[in-house]
Amino acid sequence: MKALISIVLVMGLALLMLDCSEKVSQPTNLPEPGSINPDTTYVMITPAWTEANGIAFDRPTDVKIGYDRYLYVADRNNNRVVKMTLAGDFVESYQIPRPSQVTQDRALDLLAVTDSSVVWRRSFRDGGDFQAAYTAPDIYLPPPIDDSGHAVLFGIAASPFPDKTYSFSNFYENEIYRFDSDDEFVAVQVPPGNAPGRVSAPVAVNSFNIRGQYYIGYTSGRSSFAVQLVEASTGQPVIPFSDSADIYLTTVNGHKDIAVDDLGNIFVTMATASEVWKFSRNGQLLLKFGQDAPPEDRLDNPRGIDAYQQYIYVADTDNNRVVRFETSTSPQQ
């Protein structure tokens, strides 16, 4: 017994030394997904959230679970970002014109993009409402779209590390940019193109810290490479491309946003299909949910999505509500 205790203590000390060492290389691939139980499904938690602070949601387009463990809702037509607890209790709201996507950095600043192609920041230290931080240059488009009144910036994602950098997508320039904490351009993070590690008409962008690595996930408005997950510093695709990778064949379903859970499973809102699709880390379709419910519980044009533990949060845009799904091994009949 004493020998066993000694062995355990030695192993624990060795693991502690490894954890403190800066020389240990972080893995570069996503964790393997857990075993897939064929009975696992996602069940909507009722009632859905239809208002905040006595004001009904009006076309909510994004949801984001912040590093402070609050839920932020881009309530587009109400010109506000709403802060809620994960149980759905209203905390406060911040004024901003027509937000389309919202994120939070590790300093707890909120960042958002709007219809006017402006990056907005709400400083955690200074408080108050959002302030304009960067405005994208006008882009003049050929007929029939021949003005600059259309949104250029569609998605924004803060780095998962404390450097306060962030990425945002430029729909018409077909690029994803990286900006520093002073809201200055750093580099083109994902270049244009119809190939792995490139992007065409990016709609949404999100960032993930998985096993210590920084990943960018994005959806495209035009392209057979519809949804991609890449290593942020190199642009190396995580999902190995193949003709059988379902995640690349989803353009007709109007995908809008992407989330990744702790097991590396990928969730995408399919606006046209009014469903959420779940993929493995290799891009294989595992299941769909959102329409397999009574009519009053079905999704309608879902946009934003985020994952936290066993829960999936969705901005159910055309139903003017925020809904939650919970994993279940007892599918509903």
| Total-model pTM | 0.85
pLDDT in tens, 211-221: 788 999 998 87
Confidence of residue 240 (pLDDT cuts 50, 70, 90): low
b/e code 129-144 from CB counts within 10 Å (16+ = b) = ebeebbebeeeeeeee
First to last CA, the chain: 52
Query: For residues 329 and 262, what is the distance between their CA atoms, to the nearest angstrom?
Result: 18
Query: For residues 215 and 82, what is the distance between their CA atoms, to the nearest angstrom?
Result: 26
Query: For residues 206 and 85, what is the distance between their CA atoms, to the nearest angstrom?
Result: 21
Going from N- to C-terminal start, the domains of the chain cover 36-328
The least confident of 119-133, 147-161, 297-311 is 147-161
User: 205 or 33: which carries more pLDDT confidence?
Assistant: 205
CA angle in degrees (0–180, nearest 5) for 122-268-289: 120
CATH of range 36-328; options 3.40.228.10, 2.120.10.30, 3.40.50.720, 3.10.20.600: 2.120.10.30
| Per-residue pLDDT at 258 | 93
User: 21 or 107: which carries more pLDDT confidence?
Assistant: 107
Query: For residues 111 and 102, what is the distance between their CA atoms, to the nearest angstrom?
Result: 6
- Type of residue found at 316: D
| Per-residue pLDDT at 41 | 83
